[in-house]
Structure 1
């Protein structure tokens, strides 16, 4: 249903599941286990898995905090894109990587819900992609000391408003890890 022509394929995005990003995240271990399950499902179906890795002043490139969590291991054949902004499309090669694979539907996982996840799902949607947010495979850390809602409330609210998100020719949805099924991506 994407508005992008000739883009029948799906890809799994794994966004910023880095040591310094998820160290204090809500349900860290459960979310990482769900992402690992989705990565395994995508690989089994030959669906592209695309890894996104953030760096900035607080997440210095190459540092231990910048490294992906040890529970998630990228295959060498899977693209790894480095970013400096919340939206994974901004100033990266993500669009080119997706176009090359004829992807028009994204399944999104990772961290942080209230920053890079929200920015990326909206960025994808306005660019014409169908976007599935996996509701139990994204997380954030608590910012309640700054007056924000709890991490659980932020996650729940994001899942609620993304479910049924629509615009002409494209849709957004929220599903659980158990509900995700990947159809094999055709070769060629």
Structure 2
């Protein structure tokens, strides 16, 4: 159960599924298709979909690389949050967007697993949100040349790790897209 008062709703967060972020990502097409299915379900269930887009000197706002991938299209009226840091809450209006929607539980998808997705999960949990990671709806690029494990292992480890995340008064967990209750409560994590 969220520690945020009067926040009974859930939202689907789509983090950084942008051309320049997921272009060469592990299982890119499968993950984007899974996220598209979740977006469709969320809209049908009247669960808010919140789009997060990163920009920096390498991912310039307005450029083709900065755009959300063509398979996904934010609908009119769906919030779009612009960020400069890994944590989607840091120095953005995400908290205000979620508060305005009465959201105390976030369902997280997107990229990069080992950067912005993890940072956003932690950012949400420490700010009082219940957090659900959709285990088959996040991905990353290969960073093994810099000593990171293969992407499939990064994803598996993140899914395992987040399945055991916890904090007082909040829930966390990892669930497959087919099993996630988008509109659920903390007990459904």
Give the structure 2 partner of residue 153 of structure 1: 153
Q: In 1, distance between residues paired with 2:140 and 2:184?
A: 31
For each residue in 1:78-112, what CA deviation from the matched residue of structure 2 results, as whole angstroms up to 9, or x when unmatched?
00111111000011100001001110000000000
Give the structure 1 partner of residue 75 of structure 2: 75
TM-score, normalising length: structure 1: 0.96
Give the structure 2 partner of residue 59 of structure 1: 59
What is the aligned length? Answer: 185
CA contact (8 A) 2:12 2:182 kept: no
Give the structure 2 partner of residue 139 of structure 1: 139
Q: In 1, distance between residues paired with 2:35 and 2:10?
A: 16
CA contact (8 A) 2:55 2:61 kept: yes
- Secondary structure in structure 1 of the residue aligned to 2:114: helix
Q: How far 1:184 moved relative to its partner?
A: 8.4
Q: How far 1:158 moved relative to its partner?
A: 0.4
CA contact (8 A) 2:52 2:83 kept: yes
CA contact (8 A) 1:41 1:181 kept: no
Q: In 2, distance between residues paired with 1:104 and 1:183?
A: 11
CA contact (8 A) 2:107 2:182 kept: no
Q: What runs of 5+ residues in structure 2 fail to find an aligned partner? A: none
Give the structure 2 partner of residue 101 of structure 1: 101
Instruction: Give me the CA root mean square deviation.
Output: 1.2
Q: In 2, distance between residues paired with 1:130 and 1:53?
A: 22
Runs of 4+ aligned residues of structure 1 deviating over 2 Å after TM superposition are: 181-185
Give the structure 1 partner of residue 50 of structure 2: 50
Give the structure 2 partner of residue 116 of structure 1: 116
Q: In 2, distance between residues paired with 1:181 and 1:142?
A: 30
Asked whether 1:92 is paired with 2:124, we answer: no
Q: How far 1:115 moved relative to its partner?
A: 0.6
Q: In 1, distance between residues paired with 2:182 and 2:92?
A: 25
Q: How far 1:65 moved relative to its partner?
A: 0.8
Q: In 1, distance between residues paired with 2:135 and 2:184?
A: 22
